[in-house]
Chain A
Amino acid sequence: MRFLVSILLVALFSFIAGLFLPWWSLAIVAFLVGLLVPQSLGRSFLAGFLGIFLLWGFLAAWIDLANNHVLSGKIAQLFKLGAASVLLILITALIGALVGGFAALSGASLRPARRLRTYA
């Protein structure tokens, strides 16, 4: 549950921040979500990663669809990715996701390490 909430928080607040702030504001959002939502380091990273991956991937795909792939086809050719835009959308999502993931990891590592739960 926390994991899903983190993903949603990262995506939602990154979107809002992106309307007003530079692209790297997503790192601040992911960092804060990592810091404030207690999870294991691995899950925090993945939440930051997926939150941005989904946000950027969805936005890019949405824009691309409305644009009939006019621009993505040209940019994909420019980056030698062939003429299809799918790869460009995935790369877009991946680049953002990496920043989001590591920023969330950074935030999460600031939290005190939880003691290992002991089982009676």
Chain B
Amino acid sequence: MRIVPFLLATVLTLALIFGLDRKWGSIPPLGRFLSPQQGFWQNAEPAGETYSETLHFPQLKGKATVYLDDRLVPHVFAENEADVYFIQGYLHAKFRLWQMEFQTFAGAGRLSEKLGNDPRILRYDREQRRLGMVYAAENTARVMESDTASRPYFDAYTAGVNAYIHSLTKSSLPVEYKLLDYQPEDWSNFKIALFLKVMSKDLAGYERDLEFTNAKSVFSLADLKDLYPEIADSTVPIVPAGTPFDAPGIVPVKPASADSLYFGNDTTLQVREINKPERTNGSNNWAVSGSRTASGAPILCNDPHLTLSLPSIWFEMQLTTPTMNAYGATFPGSPSVIIGFNDQVAFGFTNAMRDVKDYYAIRFRDASKREYWYNGAWQPTTIKIEEIKINGAPTLHDTVAYTAFGPVMYDESFTNDVTGTKAIAVRWVAHDPSNEGAMWFRLNRAKDYNDCREAIRGFVCPGQNMLFASKSGDIAIWQQGRFPARWDGQGLFVMPGEDSSYAWQGFIPEDENPHVVNPAQGFIQSANQRPVDASYPYFIPGNYIVPRGITIQSRLSGLQAVTPQQMMGLQNSYDNSLAADAVPLLLRTIDRAELDAKAKGFLRELETWNFHADPDSRAMTIYQAWLDSLERSVWDDEFARIREPQVRPDEQTLVELLLRDSASRFIDNINTPAVETLRGIITSAFTNAARGLAVEEGTNGLSWWKHKQATIMHLLRNSLMPFAREGIRAGGAGATPNAITKTHGPSWRMVVQLTSTTEAYGIYPGGQSGNPGSRFYDNFIDDWAAGKYYRLWVMKASESNDQRVLGTIHFSNN
């Protein structure tokens, strides 16, 4: 034995193993990660992988077969109703486990536990907890588990996810686990609820109460009506204008003190919102009745717009049982087909954009937060201690006080600008117990409009425009959700929380929710606009979006003998109705004498523009640069006086304001002695924009897609850019029906013609596999950007020998 070499070699070997088996900062454990038998190489799928296998699970009640087609869409044929959800859970996990779990960690405010000690991530986690995301999911999970009809399906789904998780080995773990060095934990029904709350926050978590409160300290109530109008001049509602409404079933009463304590109270807020949902989260859906289609059968179309990500939020599936044959886009993390169709009906969703989240000013007795002043006495709060684990640092305990309104989101411990005993509680419909997931079990089995109508009853949050079409010929839409019945102005600003007089007095009766059934115009459209005209008997503030609805309404009214191909064209339309309003104003107002030759050249391009935001359009880039510049010159002076958080009026509002009143008081720059004119600011905005455009022209030729830089990020964003898709050649903007922005856009496009054999088309910007090492990771993206569709194959069990079948998975219980 040679002692020195032995000691040296042994110590070196052990040190190497130790060093290569642990994570150093963002570097994964290299030995484990690079090992071809365990590490990321195991995620590099053979290009010829067919995924065929035979699986046995005692949890199953019968047999089932899954055919994976050449786009990796699973067609599930199960003998038993619950089994289909077990298999859906298993397949969601097989192709999307990391994403499913990550989304629920984000929902529950547990990212620090996995991603490490980063102050931004910790603030995000704390905000999720303080918003009551976990509390909301617990409330929902309780209802799910007490509902005997839906619980077996949720249980089966959860069991399927867990069956896959328990089959994992070190080498078959998804690559993100290997990179970040953690293990999946067991799935549960609670996690399904958490996922639904993530969607609720995304879709029903945007309101501007805090910003409006700050704006109110500077602007008059009349100003605010102009800056944030309830109804835009040009809006086209979902319920055709002029449709009569019933008398309201509930008439909320404004508190006597509202003028002094609420509208007249000019206290500014100094809280920081950490992670506001995307402003433009919206969608289009429309249905055309058979009277206006070439085939005589109804056509239903839907393209939900969300922040685009890889892996995609959607996963395409066909679910077949003795009582169901549903096809469409599913949510990994939740059972059922979410947007799709069966052999009798099709269903689609857009966001209602209604404000269902309000804030109340709370006064604690002292720093312990154990009591707050309410209805003339010190009342006890319910204290919830949030335990936030942080990878690589001690656990943080965050004390959240729950009041009669809900959790206290902002207090002196969170966003330290709110001081002393003042605090703000949040009242949010998503906190209320409900069982949204159960709706889809019924919808997937619906046979006609009445079944759909019954299925959606009781759906609380997020409020959605639920659109239906049936082979029996009906088209219908319901704006479904639980919406507070507000007195005029209630909930626009932070409300006094020292007594119950400002609390919600009730909810709008469900049957009074805006709806349209087989309208005379022969079609129904929704695109996140205000659902009704001014005659609707309730005050319904929201985050409405105007322009897409205008384009869709005007296109559909002009079409007869509609074909699915025309509908694809409309989903891919780059028509910008806002530009069509704004550019003529620009052209007739601008002072051409003030422009240099370069700026005149840009202006000429706008003169000949057809208002299409095509990928290569230079005019769209020029228009947007001018509008951005105009917004700055109109708003910068006023908004410099307002504290953060603040929100500026929409582009739509600005354009309508200037069209309506060329001498609007907002045109003047309050910081200069001169009184600015519309002509002056439009010209100077264009001159400024032209200077920037001249520079940009050298880098990208001003083509819109290069200017916009649409990117589909991986869920881990900047830290995993090689897993993202950058430089997507796509046109469109928030105002066009094909609303592709830098980070955002149609996350699933679907066109369904309900002829006796359903003719359906769809595509989403991603791929069926969540594995970056699979050829199915992002294989739909280029076709999606080009506006192409796939014919959706509603497979029959007898077609198992079809060429499109790539692989077969047999499931049985023995």
Q: Within residues 19 to 53 of chain B, which ones have a CB less than 8 A from any CB in chain A?
A: 20-21, 30-32, 34-48
Q: Does residue A4 face the partner (Cβ distance < 8 Å to B)?
A: no
- Indicate if the CB atoms of B38 and A22 lie closer than 8 Å: yes
The reply to whether B722 and A78 contact each other, CB–CB distance below 8 Å, is yes
Given A23-B37, A70-B44, also A77-B722 (CB < 8 A): yes
Q: How far is the CA of A74 from the CA of B43 in the complex (A)?
A: 12
- Contacting B at CB under 8 A, from A74-106, are 74-75, 77-78, 91-92, 95-96, 98-99, 102-103, 105-106
Known: A74-B722, A95-B30. A63 touches B36 (CB 8 A): yes
Closest residue on chain B to residue A76 by CB atoms: B722
Distance between A78 CB and nearest chain B CB, rounded to angstroms: 5
Q: Does A12 contact B (CB under 8 A)?
A: no
Closest chain B residue to A78, Cβ basis: B722
* Interface check A68, CB cutoff 8 A: yes
Select one of A18, A19, A24, A78 contacting B17, CB under 8 A: A24
What is the chain A residue whose CB lies nearest that of B17?
A24
* Chain A residues closer than 8 Å to B39, beta-carbon distance: 23
A: contact size bracket: 35 or more
Is B12 a contact partner of A41 (Cβ separation < 8 A)?
A: no
With A67-B45, A70-B774 known as contacts, the answer to whether A59 contacts B722 (CB < 8 A) is no
- Which chain A residues border B43 with CB–CB below 8 Å? 71
Interface flags for A1-45 (1: CB within 8 Å of B; 0: not) read: 000000000000001001100111001000100000000010001
CB-based nearest A residue for B27: A79
CB of B2 within 8 A of chain A? yes
CB < 8 Å neighbour of B47 from A31, A67, A103: A67
Query: In the bound complex, how far is the Cα of B42 from the Cα of A60, in angstroms?
Result: 9
**Number of chain B interface residues as a range:** 35 or more
Are B35 and A67 touching (Cβ within 8 A)? no
Q: Does B16 contact A (CB under 8 A)?
A: yes
Docked pose: A19 CA to B39 CA in angstroms: 12
A4 to chain B, nearest CB (A): 22
Instruction: Name the residue on A nearest B38 (C-beta).
Output: A23
Q: Are A23 and B41 interface neighbours, CB within 8 A?
A: no
User: In the complex, which residues of chain A have a beta carbon less than 8 angstroms from the beta carbon of B21?
Assistant: 22-24
Closest residue of chain A to B26 (Cβ to Cβ) is A78
CB within 8 A of A18: which of B12, B37, B45? B37
- A52 CB to closest chain B CB, in angstroms? 10
CB proximity of B346 to chain A, nearest CB, Å: 35
**Residues on the B chain within 8 Å of A77, using CB:** 721-722
Inter-chain contact A71/B773, CB cutoff 8 Å: yes
Residues in A with CB closer than 8 Å to B12 are 102, 106
Smallest CB-CB separation from A34: which chain B residue? Answer: B9
> Is A59 touching B36 in the complex (CB atoms < 8 A)?
yes
Q: Taking A59-B41, A78-B720, A78-B722 as contacts, is the C-beta distance between A106 and B10 under 8 angstroms?
A: yes
Report Cα–Cα, A91/B9, bound state, in Å: 21
B674 within 8 A of partner (CB): no
| Residues on the A chain within 8 Å of B356, using CB | none
Can you name the residue of chain A whose Cβ is closest to the Cβ of B18? Answer: A24
> Separation in Å of the A76 CB from the closest CB of chain B?
8
Contact assessment for B40 and A71 in the assembled complex, using a CB-CB cutoff below 8 Å:
yes
**Residue ID in chain B nearest A70 by CB atoms:** B773
Chain A 36-68: CB-based contact to B (< 8 A → 1; otherwise 0): 000001000100000000011001100110111
* A-side contacts of B48, CB under 8 Å: 66
Our pick among B13, B44, B46 for the contact of A103 (Cβ within 8 Å) is B13
Q: Which of A19, A60, A71, A103 has the most CB of B within 10 A?
A: A71
Closest CB-CB distance, B465 to chain A, in whole Å?
A: 38
Contact status A67-B46, CB under 8 Å: yes
Q: CA separation between A29 and B619, bound complex, in Å?
A: 67
Q: Which residues of A contact B47 (CB under 8 A)?
A: 66-68, 70
Question: Smallest CB–CB gap between A50 and chain B, Å?
Answer: 16
CA–CA, A60 and B40, complex, Å: 10
Give chain B nearest CB distance to A21 CB in angstroms.
Answer: 10
Chain B residue contacts of A56, Cβ below 8 A: 34-36
Pairwise interchain contact B720-A60, C-beta atoms closer than 8 A: no
* Cα A102 to Cα B44 with chains together (Å): 29
A67–B773 contact, CB under 8 A?
yes
With a cutoff of 8 Å between Cβ atoms, the chain B residues found around residue A109 in the complex are 1-3, 5-6, 9
Question: Residue on B with the closest CB to A68?
Answer: B47
* Interchain CA distance A105-B30 in the complex, whole Å: 22
Contacts of B41 in A (CB 8 A): 59-60, 63-64, 71-72, 92
Is residue A120 contacting chain B, with contact meaning CB distance below 8 A? no
CA distance A117 to B630 in the complex (A): 92
* Closest chain A residue, CB of each to CB of B34: A92
Q: Which residues of B contact A67 (CB under 8 A)?
A: 44-47, 773
A71 touches B6 (CB 8 A): no
Distance (Å) between the CB of A32 and the closest chain B CB?
13
Check: A113 CB closer than 8 A to any chain B CB: yes
A92 CA to B31 CA in the complex, in Å?
A: 8
In the complex, A74 Cα to B36 Cα: how many Å?
Answer: 16
Chain B residues near A (Cβ < 8 Å)? 1-3, 5-6, 9-10, 12-13, 16-17, 20-21, 30-32, 34-48, 170, 175, 720-723, 772-775, 777
Additional 20 contacts, C-beta under 8 A, given A15-B37, A71-B44, A105-B9: A18-B37, A41-B5, A56-B34, A56-B36, A59-B36, A60-B41, A63-B36, A63-B41, A64-B41, A70-B47, A70-B774, A71-B40, A92-B34, A96-B35, A99-B13, A99-B17, A102-B9, A103-B13, A106-B10, A106-B12
The 5 closest A-B pairs by CB, nearest first: A71-B773, A59-B36, A109-B6, A23-B35, A67-B44
Can you list 26 A-B pairs with a CB-CB distance of less than 8 A? A23-B32, A24-B17, A24-B21, A27-B13, A45-B9, A59-B41, A63-B36, A63-B44, A64-B41, A67-B45, A68-B775, A72-B44, A74-B772, A75-B722, A77-B722, A95-B30, A95-B31, A96-B31, A96-B35, A99-B13, A102-B9, A103-B13, A105-B9, A106-B6, A106-B9, A109-B5
A residues at B contact (CB < 8 Å): 15, 18-19, 22-24, 27, 31, 41, 45, 55-56, 59-60, 63-64, 66-68, 70-75, 77-78, 91-92, 95-96, 98-99, 102-103, 105-106, 109-113
